[in-house]
Chain A
Amino acid sequence: MIDFGYFALCLALLTSGYALLSSLAGGRSGRLALVRSAENAMLATCLLLTLAVCVLWHALLTHNFQVRFVAENSNLAMPFFYTITSLWGGQAGSLLFWGWILSLYIAAVVLVYRHRYRELMPYAVSVMAASSFFFCILHLFSADPFVTLPFKPEDGRGLNPLLQQPLMAIHPPLLYLGMIGMVVPFAFAMAALGSGHLDSTWLRPARRWMLIPWSFLGAGLLLGGKWAYVELGWGGYWGWDPVENSSLMPWLAGTAFLHSVMVQERKGMLKVWNMILAILCYGLCILGTFITRSGIISSVHAFAKSNIGPFFAVFLVVMLVASFGLLYLRLPQLKPENRLESFASRETAFLLNNWILLGILFAVFWGTLFPLISEAFTGQQITVGPPFFNQVNVPIGLVLILLTGAGPLFAWRRTSEESLKKSFAVPIAVGVLSLPFLLGLGVRDLYALISLVLCAFVTAAIVSEYHAGTRARMRSTGEGYATALYRLSAKNRRRYGGYMTHLALVLLFVGFTGKAFTSEVELVLDRGETVPVGEYELTYETMAFKEDANMSSTAAALTLSRDGQRLGTLLPERRYYKSFDQGTTEVSIFSDLREDFYLILVGSAEDGSAKFQVYINPLVNFVWLGSIVLILGSIWAMWPTARDRRIARIDRSAATTPLQPSPVGT
């Protein structure tokens, strides 16, 4: 059975290698049959990798501990759900999972564009096949998931209890769906360069296939933050750790891309820039994987060192040299069709948006890789911590949020003074009016004030866009407000889905701003004691001990009240998992929209007293709220409209209708 899996990997290496070569050959020679066979070869690769993954899953589910991966990452006591998710619990399995998802993406692109983009597909398939080929090499030569042990252990090692959390189980798949998918826009960029079709055709598939991974990546990032907040017990959700930053950087580049493509689509500008961004997105994904798996930069995320670093490093270098080289060759053909005419234009806003996003990207990149850079120059590894990232990124972020509101209010080419006054009046008024309101609430921190005023401004700007659009539609169609609003959003999904994600960004920023007001306190309480904590009263009621075969736990019960009103019972816990010699902290949180009361049981003494740590995290739930709105907005934007379907139908029939010979004489 295991041999089938290994054999499938060998075949997949061959099929992806074949596809890489024949697609390229078919594209250059114009022989469509070669291209078709290459596409079919990638479909076969997908089937083979699916087979390999199923074999590994089968080994996991039947507890075949003779397979080393199964022995290291699962055990008999593991619940069914976590046995499934243990597929990506170790290096070899997670790489196979990665290769499988990659093959699924490629198969989807091949099938969806079966009859479309025929000039671009040969090269796009070739590039995607190259990526798949690389991962097949990894599966076979660096991290073979099917290695067997010379004996069969009685039981496996299992998964660290810190990772046996539903959130943690789906965090890697979401991130993978994000990082892996960015190969598709890259492939289409390369296809445009390779085929010479340098107009805006490549943008259409690239944009759609950037939005999908970008959404997954965003969801994965926020989910990871939620897990850290709920599970790790340090009161925060983002630590600017190198591995965290590795997945943030492609997301920033992707956001820049999603905006700048609109400029090329409308005005034929930024052609070279969009190419660079597509290369950057994919390059950052590979860099991110390299940083994460090679252990080259010390990180909290404990991935063991392995020999896989050099493979990724070489792949990254080859990819960058080849893609920038191709871009350089095509540079003369990528001239802009228009120029920037006015500062008060949407083009300028998008340009600024890109600069800002890349500014943040640069800061994160520099801060993350500084240990390596400093070591190369001074021989000493110097690291920078969260204060650096916060200090640099907060001001840039504030400009970003300002632009999020202001950008859509500008018109293409040039916005007249009259139009500016009309669009900006209400949002500015709302922003200005919010200032005394915030000061009245007691907000004094400068950054927090600016942030919240801007959030008010942006919310008003977004709402006014929806409102203006709805009113215009009502006038022309006579529909009621709600119908007009819905139809408006449904017909212009990209725009109004985009506005929804902007609204999500505002919510996220409100949540982030709350960090300026976080307070923390340590308490030692005796049983029955009540203590005031800020506006709350906390009563330590009792402590309970529990023990079973797997773990022992110490749980405290506390009552939380505010203004004499009982809010709830908090049950912070400390657990100890015997077979892993691993303790975990189970945080207890009381949440409402205003703030979180975040309680940790630090430890207890024999006399029944216990030490607790409390974090009051204002506005943190806006982050989770913003996450949900972000996902909804992305789905809304991605959903194909009737117009998309019509265009696809026309493309397909044009591609499949045989050419009619024109009558003689015409």
Chain B
Amino acid sequence: MYRHKFTAGALVVATGLFYLFLTGFQQSSSTHMTLQSLTESAQKDGLNGERIQLGGSTVVPGSIQWDKYKSSAAFDITDGQRTMRVQYVGNAVLPDTFKDEALVVLEGEYVAANNSFDAEVVFAKCPSKYEGQDYDGHVQAMKNQDSY
């Protein structure tokens, strides 16, 4: 008898959890893309309103246009081949690591009308740590600089 009560209870709980999982997913999932895949998908089907996480691009040096109080910015990103204009539309202050040549991951929507991206969230990483990559180039760079 205990068995049945137990199983019934467990099923109810599991169903509830499953429901929470699903709705949670729908509310906050975003597809990870790169500039390349984004451009390709945009040409194909427009991507209307889909939440996108855009990674693998860096900020084009000199492209950052701050507003009066540096609370928001418009900037260009590039993956070495394409560039795209980005407008920050989020609430929070932009991270301290956001600057020229920073590697950025953006979350937001693609604006087909002007081939730009509205970013609600901006994550920025410092590009200066390059362990494990291009050791020789790194050594050469260090040789050519007085300090880092």
Query: Which A residues have a C-beta under 8 Å from some C-beta of B?
Result: 71-72, 75, 90-92, 149-151, 153-158, 160, 162, 232-235, 298, 300, 302-308, 340, 343, 359, 363, 366, 370-371, 380-392, 395-396, 520, 522, 524, 579-585, 600, 602-605, 610-611, 613
Residues in A neighbouring B142, C-beta threshold 8 A: 71, 149, 153
Residues in A neighbouring B68, C-beta threshold 8 A: 603, 605, 611
> How far is the CB of A432 from the nearest CB of chain B, in Å?
24
Residues in A neighbouring B109, C-beta threshold 8 A: none
User: Which of B81-89, B110-118, B128-136 faces chain A?
Assistant: B128-136
Known: A298-B55, A298-B105, A343-B2. A602 touches B93 (CB 8 A): yes
Contact with A along B6-39 (1 / 0, CB 8 A): 0000000000110011011101111111000000
Cα distance, A158 to B147, chains bound together (Å): 10
Cα distance, A380 to B97, chains bound together (Å): 27
Of B16, B96, B148, the contact of A158 (CB 8 Å cutoff): B148
Of A91, A380, A582, A585, the contact of B93 (CB 8 Å cutoff): A585
The majority secondary structure among interface residues of chain B is mixed
Q: Can you pick out 18 interface pairs between chain A and chain B where the beta carbons lie within 8 Å of each other?
A: A150-B139, A154-B146, A155-B146, A160-B126, A232-B96, A233-B96, A302-B129, A305-B133, A306-B131, A382-B31, A388-B28, A392-B24, A583-B99, A585-B93, A602-B93, A603-B69, A605-B68, A605-B69
> How far is the CB of A156 from the nearest CB of chain B, in Å?
7
Question: Are B92's CB and A235's CB within 8 A?
Answer: yes
Residues in B neighbouring A150, C-beta threshold 8 A: 139
- Max chain B C-beta neighbours (<10 A), residue from A233, A366, A384, A579: A384
> How far is the CB of B40 from the nearest CB of chain A, in Å?
12
Question: Are A584's CB and B96's CB within 8 A?
Answer: yes
Question: Are B25's CB and A388's CB within 8 A?
Answer: yes
Known: A307-B132, A392-B17. A603 touches B32 (CB 8 A): no
Question: Are A383's CB and B91's CB within 8 A?
Answer: no
Residues in B neighbouring A580, C-beta threshold 8 A: 128
Residues in B neighbouring A524, C-beta threshold 8 A: 69
Known: A91-B131, A234-B92, A304-B131. 18 other contacts (CB 8 A): A91-B132, A153-B143, A155-B147, A156-B148, A160-B126, A162-B97, A298-B105, A380-B31, A380-B33, A381-B31, A382-B29, A382-B32, A383-B29, A389-B24, A520-B91, A602-B93, A603-B68, A613-B93
> How far is the CB of B39 from the nearest CB of chain A, in Å?
15
Question: Are A151's CB and B30's CB within 8 A?
Answer: no
> How far is the CB of B75 from the nearest CB of chain A, in Å?
15
Question: Are A302's CB and B29's CB within 8 A?
Answer: no
Known: A371-B32, A385-B107, A391-B20. A304 touches B69 (CB 8 A): no
**Residue in chain B with minimal CB distance to A391:** B24
Cα distance, A383 to B20, chains bound together (Å): 17
Question: Are A392's CB and B147's CB within 8 A?
Answer: no
Question: Are A602's CB and B69's CB within 8 A?
Answer: yes
Question: Are B133's CB and A304's CB within 8 A?
Answer: yes
Question: Are A388's CB and B27's CB within 8 A?
Answer: yes
Question: Are A300's CB and B123's CB within 8 A?
Answer: yes
> How far is the CB of B120 from the nearest CB of chain A, in Å?
10
B70 contacts chain A at the CB level, 8 A cutoff: yes
Complex interface residues of chain B between 54 and 100 (CB less than 8 A to chain A): 55, 66, 68-71, 91-93, 95-97, 99
Residues in A neighbouring B53, C-beta threshold 8 A: 298, 381, 383
Residues in A neighbouring B69, C-beta threshold 8 A: 524, 602-605, 610-611
Question: Are B29's CB and A388's CB within 8 A?
Answer: yes
Cα distance, A386 to B91, chains bound together (Å): 16
Known: A343-B2, A392-B17, A582-B97. A383 touches B132 (CB 8 A): no
> How far is the CB of A603 from the nearest CB of chain B, in Å?
3
Question: Are A602's CB and B131's CB within 8 A?
Answer: no
Known: A307-B132, A395-B20, A603-B69. A384 touches B126 (CB 8 A): no
Cα distance, A343 to B10, chains bound together (Å): 13
**Residue in chain B with minimal CB distance to A240:** B28
> How far is the CB of A629 from the nearest CB of chain B, in Å?
30
**Residue in chain A with minimal CB distance to B139:** A149
Residues in B neighbouring A584, C-beta threshold 8 A: 96
Known: A384-B29, A385-B28, A600-B93. A155 touches B71 (CB 8 A): no
Q: Which 10 A-B residue pairs are closest in the complex by CB-CB distance?
A: A306-B132, A603-B70, A611-B69, A381-B32, A157-B148, A387-B28, A302-B125, A603-B69, A388-B24, A391-B24
Cα distance, A278 to B139, chains bound together (Å): 44
Of A92, A154, A581, A605, the contact of B147 (CB 8 Å cutoff): A154
**Residue in chain B with minimal CB distance to A356:** B13
Cα distance, A234 to B122, chains bound together (Å): 12
Question: Are A384's CB and B28's CB within 8 A?
Answer: yes
Cα distance, A574 to B57, chains bound together (Å): 26
Cα distance, A71 to B68, chains bound together (Å): 39
> How far is the CB of B64 from the nearest CB of chain A, in Å?
12
Residues in B neighbouring A71, C-beta threshold 8 A: 142
Question: Are B133's CB and A384's CB within 8 A?
Answer: no
Known: A520-B91, A603-B71. A581 touches B99 (CB 8 A): yes
Cα distance, A388 to B20, chains bound together (Å): 8
Known: A385-B28, A605-B68. A304 touches B93 (CB 8 A): no
Residues in A neighbouring B105, C-beta threshold 8 A: 298
Cα distance, A385 to B52, chains bound together (Å): 12
Cα distance, A585 to B23, chains bound together (Å): 35
